[in-house]
Amino acid sequence: MHRQEALAALDARKRVDLQIGACRDELQRLGADETGSLVDSDGFPLSDVDIVAVRTVRNRLIMLKNDRRELDRQIAALVQDALPRRAQDSASPGAPLPSESASESEPASAPGSVSASASAPAAAAANTTPKPLYVRSVAPDSPAAAAGLRAGDELRAFGAISSVSAASLSEIPAQVRPNIPIAVHVARHTVNGYQVIPLTLTPQECIYAVLGSHGRHAEFESYITPAQWLFAVWPVIHALFLGMLVYQFTRKGTDIVKSGLGWNLPLMLFLNSLCDALFTAHGSAYHIAGFIVLSAVAALVSHLYGHLRMTFEPDDWCDSLFVFLPLSLYHGLVVVVYFVAAFAVFGVDARTHAPGLVTKVLVFLTLFFLESTATGYVFYGNGDLAGASVITLGLVSIAAHQHNRFIHWSAIGFALIALIAVVRAFFSIVHNPEPLHDEESAPLTA
């Protein structure tokens, strides 16, 4: 229950942050800031500033900041309540001595590299004293270990958080950016007593975070960023490609893989790896280059899959499972990733900028294109049910992740339309194994 309330509070805080960003943009448009004087040196109102509009926006901004502080308080309380309790385990002056303590994975590095436990000294039974955070364990060969963090260290400062405690635990993830060093101060019990030691922690991304988001999700959120569970399709594709690698050495597999795919397949996978490398590099030039390479990947996989479908038909389940299915899934996922990457590379951060009218129109057209493409995949030629299903899943994941009402409900609407087409095609295949031809009723897919 605490977890659900905390997630709801985090979502509410995200919406408040968007509104705060919009108010700051409005103040900038009005030629003012949050605290600057609205009168000249003689005490008269500034003639080139809309005083009423500025004061209205400032009042709104103050209310939003108060709301955010209240949400921060609620989140901190929920996090502390949700933390598991453990017994007091030590009485040494430099070790964590809580009768009430909590543990929480400390974000940074890589998954499982370091964990922290929030605890309060036994003497401080009152809740007035902030609960400090202690490092419970450090994984070997992790970024935390490379930075010099040790089990038992008390976190004093983390990035822009000058005073770390259990109350500020929810603020730590915002400080983490892959491959960007973070200043960390820890208090450590040494032979010379308790000393504060400065360290530098450089977080790293795990490989599936890179593949899943095509690079920028950890540090950037666009208006069509999908939920991360969408990218669970990647391991499925990789497993099927591994099956293709084995299948190509059989007599039947050699013919279809060599003649149908040839060198285009390894070229496509190489470009995909290059695309991931460029997106994980820091700098807009790398991201633009990555998007150009991704465009080549999208064109190549479309050509490759189209050639395969026009030239060959699956004769048995091995052809369908290890040749046609992975390319179909890959084809559909690349379509979704392409538009997600376009908004990430050329758009603004949705966490700090509310979408305007032009942005909403672009998002609506993008969602419409994804829906019409999914529907077109179902009805065009022999039908590509797997690819259409992935695109439909992409629309669902966008709806699940986006909190702007217009984008959220638009994605839900288009996802339902695409889902109806996919379900209809599925039942048509079940009742009639012949290929589904309904090209005249299929929508245009650009």
Please enumerate in sequence order all residues whose Cβ is within 8 A of that of 229, keeping only pairs 6 or more positions apart, or say none: 397
What is the identity of the amino acid at 357?
Answer: L
| Interval 138-155: pLDDT, tens | 877 778 888 888 888 888
Looking at residue 123, what is its pLDDT? 44
Query: Is the pLDDT higher at 89 or at 384?
Result: 384
How is residue 96 annotated by DSSP?
-
Q: Which domains does the chain have, with CATH numbers?
A: 2-82 (1.10.287), 98-201 (2.30.42), 208-431 (no CATH)
Of 389, 381, 382, nearest in space to 421 by CA = 389
CA dist., res. 49 & res. 23, Å (int): 16
Looking at residue 340, what is its pLDDT? 93
CA dist., res. 220 & res. 225, Å (int): 9
Looking at residue 61, what is its pLDDT? 84
| Interval 196-255: pLDDT, tens | 888 998 876 543 344 344 444 445 678 999 988 999 999 999 999 999 989 988 888 888
Does the pLDDT value for residue 55 go beyond 90?
no
**Over the chain, what is the mean pLDDT?**
78
Q: Phi-psi region for residue 148, left (φ > 0), alpha (ψ -120 to 50) or beta?
A: left
Share of the chain above pLDDT 90, in %: 24
Looking at residue 203, what is its pLDDT? 79
Looking at residue 128, what is its pLDDT? 55
CA dist., res. 351 & res. 15, Å (int): 8
Query: Is the pLDDT higher at 45 or at 101?
Result: 45
Of 373, 352, 369, nearest in space to 361 by CA = 369
The sign one gets for the Cα dihedral 415, 420, 425, 426 is positive
Of 166, 84, 175, nearest in space to 132 by CA = 166
Task: Using pLDDT thresholds of 50, 70 and 90, give the confidence band for residue 171.
Answer: confident
* pTM score: 0.55
| Interval 72-130: pLDDT, tens | 888 777 766 655 444 334 334 444 433 333 333 344 444 444 544 444 444 444 455 66
DSSP alpha helix (H) spans, 188-227: 207-213
Q: Is 133 helix (H, G, I), strand (E, B) or coil?
A: strand
Q: Is 277 helix (H, G, I), strand (E, B) or coil?
A: helix
Of 208, 230, 206, nearest in space to 339 by CA = 230
Taking the chain, what is the end-to-end CA distance rounded to the nearest angstrom? 46
Q: How many CB atoms lie within 10 A of CB 153?
A: 26
| Interval 291-349: pLDDT, tens | 999 999 999 998 888 888 888 888 888 888 999 999 999 999 999 999 999 998 888 87
Query: Is the pLDDT higher at 412 or at 71?
Result: 412
The gap from C-alpha 257 to its chain's centroid, in whole angstroms, comes to 35
What is the identity of the amino acid at 49?
Answer: V
Q: Which of 63-67, 124-128, 410-414 has the lowest mean pLDDT?
A: 124-128
Mean pLDDT, range 380-406, rounded to an integer: 88
